[in-house]
Amino acid sequence: MIGHEKLHEETVMAAKREKTSTLELLNFLLQVEDRRTFAVVGYDSMFTYVRDGLGYSSAQASERVAAMRLLRKVPEVADGLKDGSHTLTSVAKLASHVRRENLDRVAATSLVLETANQTTESLEKYLLGMAQVEPPKVERSKIISAELTRLTIDVEEEFMNLVKRVRELRGNPALPLSEVFRHAMKEEIRKREPKAPREMKAGQVKDDANETVAEDEVRLPESELKQSGGSGVEFQSLKRSRYISMRDRAKTHSRANGECEYFHPQTGKRCGSGFGLQMEHVVPFAKGGVNTAENLRAYCPAHNQLSAVVEYGTEKMQGFHRLKKSPTSVPIRARIAGGEA
Ligand SMILES: [Zn+2]
């Protein structure tokens, strides 16, 4: 058996190694996000990648993702993690403060430097004292038996008024909160869930323009990007209809079973995210791809974006993202074309 001094020495060394590996992990995560590796290998976000792909709990995953993003903004975080003046937990807490308060690099850096060597508790108090924006309400869910989970949330007066109104409308002033939520959530899901495929007779397909526009808004404006190339052939794409029939839409959704169809070619790992599914062309619309179910896939936003990057390159996509929020504003073409010069 080794002596106490030796044991202590080796434990100190192990702790040092642990700190170095935390930093190493964060540096890897930076690259995984920058290069969109998480999407390539089949995950819909950095959070899902860290939780499901790397096997951390939800809390651990959000801590690591938050810390990684602060490390990107403030490289000094690396020194803090290395010398132990900051921990993963303290960096994650600083990260959410920086994001909430929308601090710039300079302000974030001085915050990191002045909060070195604080315990989690005193750091929390310090940040509360500095906060201009009210910190988010705490939400907890705790499994209390095989069938039951206990939720704890803080709500505003307006929320309780909504609850009261639902109870009135349902004619039961004592309707349990869980029932109120259940009804509300079912209603939300009913409204948002992609429609189940319906049998349609030939010629019954109606030109529901609204529905098409809704999903095309988030799609890459392929015709516009192409147009900046200036070739006459590409103008053709403007004349073709982007309309996707209800039948093809329904067929795609039913094949996808409400889950993102992206899979990593090497591992076969399917994304399966049910979040914000969009129609994606296998052969891009601008390259003559047709609007039939065989040429359509249901993709989550991360994978829609990934295939656009693969198709058009990061630069154009960055231009596109800057413009995405105002799809109707006039200077779009000019700016995309400018970005290409
Ligand atoms: Zn996906």
Instruction: Give 270-319 pLDDT, tens digit per residue.
Output: 999 988 888 888 888 888 888 899 999 999 999 999 988 887 776 555 55
**Predicted confidence (pLDDT) per residue in 143-197, tens digit:** 888 888 888 888 877 888 888 888 888 888 888 888 889 888 888 888 877 665 5
| Ligand 1 center to 38 CA (angstroms) | 10
CA of 52 from ligand 1 middle (Å) equals: 14
Domain identity same for 119 and 225: no
Same domain (yes/no): 220, 332: yes
What is the CA(90)–ligand 1 centre distance, in A? Answer: 31
pLDDT in tens, 33-58: 999 999 999 999 999 999 999 999 99
Question: Which stretch of 2-11, 95-104, 312-321 has the lowest confidence by average pLDDT?
Answer: 312-321
Q: Do residues 233 and 126 both lie within one domain? A: no
Range with lowest mean pLDDT among 61-70, 244-253, 306-315: 306-315
What distance in Å separates the CA atoms of residue 184 and residue 204, rounded to the nearest whole number?
A: 33
- If one counts the domains in the chain, the total is 2
- Domain end call among 130, 150, 178: 130
Per the structure, the complete domain to which residue 49 belongs is given by: 7-130
- What separation in Å is there between the alpha carbon of 260 and the centre of ligand 1? 5
Closest CA to 139 of 155, 153, 158: 153
**Using CA atoms, how far apart are residues 103 and 132, in angstroms rounded to an integer?**
11
Determine what percent of the chain falls in helix, strand and coil, rounding each to the nearest 5: 60, 5, 35
Do the beta carbons of residue 153 and residue 163 sit within 8 Å? Answer: no
Cα angle: 107, vertex 108, 112; to 5 degrees:
120
Q: Name the most confidently modeled range: 118-127, 163-172, 217-226.
A: 118-127
pLDDT of residue 164: 87
- 155 domain residue, yes or no: no
What separation in Å is there between the alpha carbon of 62 and the centre of ligand 1?
A: 19
Q: Are residues 110 and 14 in the same domain?
A: yes
Distance 303 CA to ligand 1 centre (A): 5
Residue spans of alpha helices (H) in 74-197: 77-83, 88-101, 105-114, 120-130, 157-169, 177-192
Residue 243 CA, ligand 1 centroid: distance in Å: 23
Residue 154 in domain: no
Whether residue 265 is contained in a domain is answered as yes
State yes or no: pLDDT of 75 exceeds 50.
Answer: yes
Look at residue 110 in the predicted model and tell me its pLDDT: 96
| Residue 329 and residue 239 share a domain | yes
End-to-end CA distance of the chain: 70
- Whether 238 is in a domain gets the answer yes
The fraction of the chain above a pLDDT of 70, given in percent, is 77
Ligand 1 centroid vs 71 CA: distance in angstroms?
26
Q: Which of 113, 130, 147 is the last residue of a domain?
A: 130
20/115 same-domain check: yes
Mean pLDDT rounded to a whole number for the chain: 80
Q: Is residue 259 assigned to a domain?
A: yes
214 and 125, same structural domain?
A: no
Query: What is the distance in A from the centroid of ligand 1 to the CA of 274?
Result: 8
Compute the distance from residue 236 Cα to the ligand 1 centre, in Å.
31
123 and 27, same structural domain? yes
My answer on whether 218 and 329 are in the same domain is: yes
Looking at the structure, do residues 224 and 109 belong to the same domain, yes or no?
A: no
pLDDT at 236 over 50: no
Q: Give kind and range of the element (H or E) at residue 222.
A: helix 222-227
Query: Average of pLDDT values for 209-219?
Result: 39
Measure 239 CA to ligand 1 centroid, in angstroms: 30
Q: Is 95 part of any domain?
A: yes
Range from 150-154, 193-197, 245-249, 255-259 carrying the lowest mean pLDDT:
193-197
- Same domain assignment for residues 119 and 233: no
**Of the candidates 95, 130, 165, which is a domain's last residue?**
130
